[in-house]
């Protein structure tokens, strides 16, 4: 048995390092594509202001990218250091997308990001454009693979338990890669990154416009940002809805907790716009409901009910009861691999083995659990309702706000009024932190909503943790908090400094004097 | 799949070695450059020269480490789980030091102040030194055996604290690793710089390769005569489902030399290892810079190769519960996963190597003080 403090510290460390990493990832995803778009315009039109834009936003991209890389190193190894049993139990499947991410995505973005910064004078215009696109594609591919890995934690398809190796093993790589949860999560997540990149460019450009600095540069940047941002914001919400639909199919408990829906409502279920979930009393007070809405979103039908928490706990309880003989049979197979009867007994309920593991929180041998312990373990499958209810609602509210903001900005840009509407620019500037808040809340909903599972229905989080001393994890956690905080302050300081400095004009001046379209330029500057 | 399970395991053992060697050869020189930064460069311009020799390429090089981590996770999940959690604080120390590098490279040139820049110089120094030391110490511990045991559900528990990692032999291996990568970084710097920096790098290459040679020789003797080694006596099933607990293992002094007796051609590996630093000294003195770097790369590959060739089929022997030790036969992932990953590597790795070569070609040539001074904005 692992101690609760070890579990809590390990979870806290993972949450901290992952959420910290995700402060930098969305901006990398969004800005990399925006850089590629800006540079494409430069190569097509030959107008130097577009190259200046690429280089200026590229400088900010670089500062952010360094932090993304720095915090990403931890993520690749942390499964092994802090979640050793998890790594043993599912590495056969989970390790594959991680390795492919390195082979296919990290190499691409990391190898070419050096050329992006150092290659301006050594590559032709077209070659450099290709390099920029490769960085953008590499960043986005890495999101694809890591979300395939994460989606498998939410919906573990294409795998089977092997009692001889005491772990899950891969059955179908296609089921893992084409996991429907992965597809919707990928587009939802990268779109959130594009929204972040777009709002970043819009807010900084707005700041320049409000101060009357770099007007031409800022107007163009803002126009690119609102167009790209509108498409991205629409995509986030549409694919977020797809994500929710997928979760309804595979993670019914997560949906029920997000909606704080204690009992199954008659179809089509209402959507709770406001409420005060009370986990201890297992009810929601002061509800304001919108009829039909949840049923339509979650099931896309008028007659499919959305199951409530009580009903899902009852079915979890049944699965625990079914899993107990599988656990007993597993013990027999482990002590005598030739026991054919035990193997058959294990196979008949192997799908519920993970549910029996939930009992390990209460006793060493789940097959001897009392009815009270079974009920207790069944209620453990309910994540923290109030936090999910609220984080989900704030995230969705922000998503809708982004659509409105970018739609209005797009309308202004189309009428060439974006530089004059100071109120809009001020709102955009104040909205700068919001995409990060939305993204972090989104991850909170996805990951906290999966609890108590590390792998949904397969491996509970409390069994996945490394048996290292809690004091070691406390030490590393304190180190990370301190170290990351210092780096974040330095990072923010540098970003602000380079935003204040603004884009440099001298290249534009030099190039308008000389004929444009030359392959290489004599001097460098940003 | 036409390849049988046992062969796949051996192929993945070779690939694991290839990835570790690629990491040590590619990222090794920029770790070495980081370590040498305070030694070979005095003025700010000189430091910028040194940093810019690896500035455009170190990020891609580091992916060899990340890919190594991912590949161990996918192909050797038991090793990934047991080694990284077993070496917990040491691993996190190495990770923290590695984190200093991306920010050090990127942030240093963004502000002009002397205190600012020297802070990041130290960050790059630590970012080069600490991982080199920790990875070497980890290699040493693999040869000593690590105190861990599995229970019935394959949950590993460890019987040691962070200071137990620093046994004399492990410290020796750590120092050898530092000397080796310093030498490797120095030979790289000699090819990429000129003037005073190159002259100091030349001296550094000679001294570091001498240290590498001496430490390697001591480690070799210790390996042969120090009573180290484990041997499988029964129960290993190369083609079977990976299950570490099925075998019996004994502690046997000198067992790390058994493979060389069985396959005499393997002697080539320990023969090449000392030849590397030796040739570095010769070629550096003869001003054959590229040959010196090539010799260094071969020496790095052979030094790591020695560890693998001696341990085989062990990956991480256990010193407390001998049967729990991890070997090529019982620590791999399933046959299907190994097969799929092999296909992925065969398709993708050549592409990676091709575009990496392209980037090195574009960035070829020496970095000079004149270059960094005229590119104050874009270069690091």
- Do A391 and A355 lie in one domain? The reply is no
Nearest-CA residue of chain A relative to B54? A114
- Do A374 and A413 lie in one domain? The reply is no
- Name the residue with tokens 């048996």: A467
pLDDT (average), residues A421-445: 95
- The pLDDT of residue B380 is above 90: no
Q: Tell me which residue in A102, A122, A524 faces B63 most closely, judged by beta carbons.
A: A102
In whole angstroms, give the CA distance from residue A141 to residue A138. 5
Which domain covers residue A328, as residue numbers? Answer: 322-380
In whole angstroms, give the CA distance from residue A267 to residue B66. 49
Structure tokens at A124: 């032709």
Q: What is the pLDDT of residues B70-127, one digit of tens each?
A: 999 999 999 999 999 989 988 999 999 999 999 999 899 888 889 999 999 999 999 9
Q: Which residues of B touch A96 (CB under 8 A)?
A: 74, 337, 340-341
Which of A380, A412, A430 terminates a domain? The answer is A380
Question: Residue length, chain A?
Answer: 526
Q: Which residues of A touch B63 (CB under 8 A)?
A: 102, 106-107, 110-111
Q: Which residues of A touch B239 (CB under 8 A)?
A: none
- Do A373 and A419 lie in one domain? The reply is no
State the DSSP code for A368: G
pLDDT given at position A46: 92
Structure tokens at B112: 């002009």
Q: Which residues of A touch B124 (CB under 8 A)?
A: none
The sign of the CA dihedral B154, B66, B104, A493 is: negative
pLDDT given at position A450: 92
In whole angstroms, give the CA distance from residue B98 to residue B1. 39
Q: How far is A68 from chain B (nearest CA, A)?
A: 9
Q: Tell me which residue in A110, A117, A334 faces B60 most closely, judged by beta carbons.
A: A110
DSSP string, A307-348: PPHHHHHHHHHHHHHHHHHHHHHHHHHHH-TT-HHHHHHHHH
In whole angstroms, give the CA distance from residue B3 to residue A229. 49
Helix (H, G, I), strand (E, B) or coil at A259: coil
pLDDT given at position A506: 45
Contact A120 B378 (CB under 8 A): yes
pLDDT (average), residues B23-28: 96
Q: Tell me which residue in A164, A476, A479 faces B241 most closely, judged by beta carbons.
A: A164
Q: How far is B154 from chain A (nearest CA, A)?
A: 7
Contact A94, A149 (CB under 8 A): yes
Contact A103 B377 (CB under 8 A): no
In whole angstroms, give the CA distance from residue B241 to residue A436. 45
- Do A153 and A241 lie in one domain? The reply is yes
**Can you give the three-state secondary structure of chain B, one letter per residue?**
CCCCHHHHHHHHHHHHHHHHHHHHHHHHHHHHHHHHHHHHCCCHHHHHHHHHHHCCCHHHHHHHHHHHHHHHHHHCHHHHHHHHHHCHHHHHHHHHHHHHHHHHHHHHCCCCCHHHHHHHHHHHHHHHHHHHHHHHHHHHHHHHCECEEECCCCCEEECCCHHHHCCHHHHHHHHHHHHHHHHHHHHHHHHHCCHHHHHHHHHHHHHHHHHHHHHHHHHHHHHHHCCCCEEEEECCCCCCCCCHHHCEEEECCCHHHHHHHHCHHHHHHHHHHHHHHHHHHHHHHCCCHHHHHHHHHHHHHHHHHHHHHHHCCEEECECCCHHHCEECCCCCCCHHHHHHHHHHHHHHHHHHHHHHHHHHHHCCCCCCHHHHHHCCCCCC
pLDDT given at position A195: 96
- Do A220 and A360 lie in one domain? The reply is no
Q: Which residues of B touch A110 (CB under 8 A)?
A: 59-60, 62-63
Question: Residue length, chain B?
Answer: 380
More reliable by pLDDT, A295 or A165:
A165
Q: What are the Cα distances from residue B261, in Å, to A246, B220, B228, B254?
A: 59, 16, 16, 11
Which of A365, A380, A395 terminates a domain? The answer is A380
pLDDT given at position A221: 94
Band (A432; pLDDT cuts 50, 70, 90): very high
Nearest-CA residue of chain B relative to A169? B334
Tell me the count of A-B CB pairs closer than 8 A.
Answer: 253
Question: Do β-strands B156-158 and B148-150 pair in parallel, antiparallel, or remain unpaired?
Answer: antiparallel
- The pLDDT of residue A525 is above 80: no
Q: How far is B331 from chain A (nearest CA, A)?
A: 10
Question: Average model confidence (pLDDT) for chain B?
Answer: 93
- The pLDDT of residue A507 is above 50: no
- The pLDDT of residue A505 is above 70: no
Q: What is the pLDDT of residues A376-428, one digit of tens each?
A: 999 999 999 999 999 999 999 999 999 999 999 999 999 998 888 999 999 99
Contact B107 A85 (CB under 8 A): no
pLDDT given at position A78: 94
pLDDT given at position A377: 94
Q: Which residues of B touch A510 (CB under 8 A)?
A: none
Q: How far is B298 from chain A (nearest CA, A)?
A: 23
Q: Which residues of A touch B355 (CB under 8 A)?
A: 107-108, 111-112
Contact B337 A170 (CB under 8 A): yes
Q: What is the pLDDT of residues A170-218, one digit of tens each?
A: 999 999 999 988 888 899 999 999 999 999 999 999 999 999 999 999 9
Q: Using a pLDDT cut of 90, give the percent of chain B over it.
A: 84
pLDDT (average), residues B38-46: 93
pLDDT (average), residues A450-476: 93
In whole angstroms, give the CA distance from residue A276 to residue A260. 9
Q: What is the pLDDT of residues A293-310, one digit of tens each?
A: 777 777 777 788 888 899
Q: What is the pLDDT of residues B215-259, one digit of tens each?
A: 999 999 999 888 899 999 988 899 999 999 889 999 998 899 999
pLDDT given at position B377: 73
Contact B85 A119 (CB under 8 A): no
Q: Which residues of B touch A171 (CB under 8 A)?
A: 336
Band (A68; pLDDT cuts 50, 70, 90): very high
Residues A295-332 as b/e (b if ≥16 CB within 10 A, e otherwise) read bebbbeeeeebbbbbebbbeebbebbbbbbbbbbbbbb
- The pLDDT of residue A515 is above 60: no
The sign of the CA dihedral B111, B116, B118, B119 is: negative
Q: Tell me which residue in B70, B103, B162 faces A102 most closely, judged by beta carbons.
A: B70
- Name the residue with tokens 């908090």: A481
- Do A191 and A167 lie in one domain? The reply is yes
Q: Tell me which residue in B71, B100, B106 faces A99 most closely, judged by beta carbons.
A: B71
Element of type H or E holding A52: helix A48-82
Q: Which residues of A touch B58 (CB under 8 A)?
A: 114
pLDDT given at position A404: 95
Contact A498 B74 (CB under 8 A): no
Q: For chain A, what is the domain count?
A: 2
Peptide bond into B313 cis (omega under 30): yes
- The pLDDT of residue A244 is above 90: no
pLDDT (average), residues A27-35: 96
Contact A107 B334 (CB under 8 A): no
Q: Which residues of A touch B55 (CB under 8 A)?
A: 114, 118
Contact A95 B80 (CB under 8 A): yes
- The pLDDT of residue A526 is above 70: no
Contact B92 A81 (CB under 8 A): yes
DSSP string, A118-181: H-TTTS-HHHHHHHHHHHHHHHHHHHHHHHHHHHHHHS--SEEEETTTTEEEES-HHHHHT-HH
Number of helices (H), then strands (E), in chain A: 20, 6
Contact B56, A438 (CB under 8 A): no
Residues A296, A300, A303, A309: what is their CA dihedral angle, to the nearest 10 degrees?
-70
Interface probe, candidates B15, B55, B63, chain A, greatest A C-beta count within 10 A: B63
Which of A360, A380, A400 terminates a domain? The answer is A380
pLDDT given at position A156: 94
pLDDT (average), residues B125-136: 96
Q: Which residues of B touch A479 (CB under 8 A)?
A: 92, 96
Q: What is the pLDDT of residues A269-294, one digit of tens each?
A: 888 888 888 888 888 887 888 887 77
Q: What is the pLDDT of residues A89-119, one digit of tens each?
A: 999 999 999 999 999 999 999 999 999 999 9
The sign of the CA dihedral A28, A32, A33, A38 is: positive
Contact B158 A88 (CB under 8 A): no
Q: What are the Cα distances from residue B239, in Å, to A397, B4, B235, B315, B336?
A: 56, 7, 12, 17, 13
Nearest-CA residue of chain B relative to A78? B84
In whole angstroms, give the CA distance from residue B297 to residue B27. 11
Extract the runs of DSSP E, i.e. beta strands, from A166-321.
Answer: 167-170, 271-278, 283-290
In whole angstroms, give the CA distance from residue A435 to residue B211. 53
Peptide bond into A268 cis (omega under 30): yes
| Long-range CB contact pairs, A513-517, < 8 A, 24+ | A516/A46, A516/A47, A516/A48, A517/A46, A517/A125
Beta-carbon contacts of A73 under 8 Å, excluding residues fewer than 6 positions away, are B62, B66, B95, B98, B99
In whole angstroms, give the CA distance from residue A472 to residue A6. 9
Q: What are the Cα distances from residue A453, in Å, to A245, B68, B81, B232?
A: 20, 28, 19, 38
- Do A371 and A486 lie in one domain? The reply is no
Q: Tell me which residue in A80, A96, A472 faces B89 most closely, judged by beta carbons.
A: A472
Interface probe, candidates B53, B126, B333, chain A, greatest A C-beta count within 10 A: B333
Q: A83 phi and psi, to 5 degrees?
A: -130, 55
Lowest mean per-residue pLDDT among A140-144, A239-243, A493-497, B348-352 = A239-243
Lowest mean per-residue pLDDT among A259-268, A437-446, B126-135 = A259-268
Q: How far is A405 from chain B (nearest CA, A)?
A: 33
Question: Do β-strands B156-158 and A283-290 pair in parallel, antiparallel, or remain unpaired?
Answer: unpaired
pLDDT (average), residues B257-268: 94
Contact B296, B184 (CB under 8 A): yes
Q: Using a pLDDT cut of 70, give the percent of chain B over it.
A: 99
Q: Tell me which residue in B95, B241, B378 faces A73 most closely, judged by beta carbons.
A: B95
Q: What is the pLDDT of residues A39-65, one digit of tens each?
A: 999 999 999 999 999 999 999 999 999
- Do A392 and A369 lie in one domain? The reply is no
Band (A514; pLDDT cuts 50, 70, 90): very low
Beta-carbon contacts of B265 under 8 Å, excluding residues fewer than 6 positions away, are none
Beta-carbon contacts of A207 under 8 Å, excluding residues fewer than 6 positions away, are A425, A429, A499
Q: How far is A90 from chain B (nearest CA, A)?
A: 8
- Do A28 and A154 lie in one domain? The reply is yes
B326 Rama class: left (phi>0) / alpha (psi -120 to 50) / beta:
beta
Q: Tell me which residue in A107, A169, A335 faces B63 most closely, judged by beta carbons.
A: A107
In whole angstroms, give the CA distance from residue B377 to residue B110. 8
- Do A23 and A123 lie in one domain? The reply is yes
Contact B82, A466 (CB under 8 A): no
- Do A180 and A327 lie in one domain? The reply is no
B154 Rama class: left (phi>0) / alpha (psi -120 to 50) / beta:
left
Nearest-CA residue of chain A relative to B78? A88
Structure tokens at A54: 């690429």
- Do A218 and A367 lie in one domain? The reply is no
Contact A524 B344 (CB under 8 A): no
Q: How far is A473 from chain B (nearest CA, A)?
A: 9
Question: Cα–chain-centroid distance for residue A525?
Answer: 35
């Amino acid at each position: 048995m692992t101690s609760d403090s070890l579990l809590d510290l390990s979870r806290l460390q993972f949450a901290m390092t992952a959420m910290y990493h995700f402060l930098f990832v969305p901006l990398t995803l969004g800005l990399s594509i925006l850089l590629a778009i800006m540079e494409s315009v430069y190569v097509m039109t030959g107008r130097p202001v577009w190259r200046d834009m690429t280089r200026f936003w590229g400088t900010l991209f670089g500062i952010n990218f360094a932090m993304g890389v720095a915090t990403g190193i931890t993520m690749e190894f942390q499964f092994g250091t802090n979640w050793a049993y998890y790594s043993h139990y599912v590495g056969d499947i989970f390790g594959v997308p991680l390795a492919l991410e390195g082979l296919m995505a990290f190499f691409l973005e990391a190898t070419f990001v050096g050329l992006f910064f150092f290659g301006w004078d050594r590559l032709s215009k077209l070659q450099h454009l290709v390099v920029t696109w490769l960085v953008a594609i590499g960043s986005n591919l890495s999101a694809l693979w890591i979300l395939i890995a994460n989606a498998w934690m939410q919906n573990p398809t294409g795998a089977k338990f092997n009692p001889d190796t005491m772990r899950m093993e891969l059955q179908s790589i296609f089921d893992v890669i084409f996991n429907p949860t992965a597809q919707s999560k990928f587009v939802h997540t990268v779109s959130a990154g594009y929204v972040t990149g777009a709002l970043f460019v819009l807010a900084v450009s707005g700041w320049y416009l409000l101060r009357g600095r770099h007007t031409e540069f800022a107007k163009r940047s803002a126009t690119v940002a609102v167009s790209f941002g509108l498409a991205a914001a629409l995509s986030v919400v549409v694919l977020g809805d797809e994500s929710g639909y997928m979760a309804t199919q595979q993670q019914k408990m997560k949906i029920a907790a997000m909606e704080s829906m204690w009992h199954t409502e008659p179809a089509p279920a209402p959507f709770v716009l406001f409420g005060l979930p009370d986990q201890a009393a297992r009810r929601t007070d002061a509800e304001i409901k919108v009829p039909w809405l949840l049923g339509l979103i979650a099931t896309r039908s008028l007659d499919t009910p959305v199951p409530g928490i009580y009903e899902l706990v009852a079915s979890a309880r049944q699965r625990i009861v079914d899993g107990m003989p599988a656990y007993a049979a597993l013990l027999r197979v482990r002590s005598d691999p030739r026991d054919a009867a035990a193997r058959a007994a294990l196979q008949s309920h192997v799908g519920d083995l993970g549910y029996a593991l939930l009992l390990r929180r209460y006793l060493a041998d789940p097959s001897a659990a009392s009815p009270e312990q079974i009920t207790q373990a069944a209620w453990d499958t309910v994540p923290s309702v109030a936090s999910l209810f609220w984080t989900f609602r704030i995230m969705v509210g922000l998503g809708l706000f982004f659509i409105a903001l970018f739609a209005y900005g797009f309308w202004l840009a189309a009428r060439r009024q974006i530089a004059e509407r100071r109120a809009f620019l001020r709102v955009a500037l104040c909205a700068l932190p919001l995409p990060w808040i939305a993204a972090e809340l989104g991850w909170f909903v996805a990951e906290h909503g999966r609890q108590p599972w590390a792998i949904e229905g397969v491996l509970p989080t409390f069994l996945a943790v490394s048996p290292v001393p809690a004091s070691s994890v406390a030490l590393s956690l304190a180190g990370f908090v301190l170290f990351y905080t210092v780096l974040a302050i330095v990072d923010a300081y540098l970003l602000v400094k380079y935003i204040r400095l603004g884009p440099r004009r001298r290249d534009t001046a030099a190039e308008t004097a000389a004929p444009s379209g030359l392959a290489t330029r004599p001097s460098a500057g940003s | 799949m036409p390849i049988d399970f046992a062969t796949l395991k051996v192929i993945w053992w070779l690939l694991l070695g290839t990835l570790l060697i690629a990491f040590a050869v590619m990222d090794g020189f920029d770790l070495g450059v980081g370590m040498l930064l305070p030694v070979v460069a005095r003025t700010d311009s000189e430091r910028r020269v040194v940093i810019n020799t690896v500035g455009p390429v170190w990020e891609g090089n580091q992916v060899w480490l990340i890919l190594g981590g991912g590949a161990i996770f996918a192909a050797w999940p038991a090793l990934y789980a047991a080694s990284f959690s077993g070496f917990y604080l040491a691993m996190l120390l190495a990770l923290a030091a590695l984190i200093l590098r991306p920010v050090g490279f990127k942030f240093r040139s963004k502000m002009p102040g002397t205190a600012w820049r020297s802070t990041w110089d130290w960050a790059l120094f630590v970012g080069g030194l600490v991982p080199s030391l920790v990875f070497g110490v980890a290699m040493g511990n693999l040869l000593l055996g690590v105190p861990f045991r599995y229970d019935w559900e394959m949950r590993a528990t460890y019987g040691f604290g962070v200071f137990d990692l620093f046994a004399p032999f492990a410290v020796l291996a750590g120092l050898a690793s530092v000397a080796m990568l310093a030498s490797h970084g120095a030979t790289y710097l000699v090819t990429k710089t000129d003037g005073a920096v190159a002259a100091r790098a030349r001296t550094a290459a000679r001294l570091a390769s001498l240290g590498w040679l001496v430490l390697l020789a001591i480690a070799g003797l210790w390996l042969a005569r120090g009573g180290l080694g484990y041997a499988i006596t029964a129960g290993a099933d190369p083609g079977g489902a990976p299950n570490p607990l099925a075998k019996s293992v004994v502690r046997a002094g000198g067992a790390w030399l058994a493979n060389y007796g069985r396959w005499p051609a393997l002697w080539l590996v320990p023969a090449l290892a000392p030849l590397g630093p030796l040739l570095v000294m010769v070629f550096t003195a003869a001003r054959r810079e590229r040959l010196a770097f090539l010799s260094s790369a071969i020496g790095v590959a052979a030094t790591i190769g020695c560890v693998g060739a001696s341990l085989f089929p062990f990956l991480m022997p256990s010193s407390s519960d001998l049967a729990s030790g991890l070997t090529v036969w019982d620590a791999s992932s399933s046959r299907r996963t190994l097969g799929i990953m092999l296909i992925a590597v065969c398709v993708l790795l050549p592409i990676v190597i091709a575009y990496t070569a392209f980037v090195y070609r574009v960035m070829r040539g020496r970095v000079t003080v004149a270059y960094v001074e005229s590119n104050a904005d874009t270069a690091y």
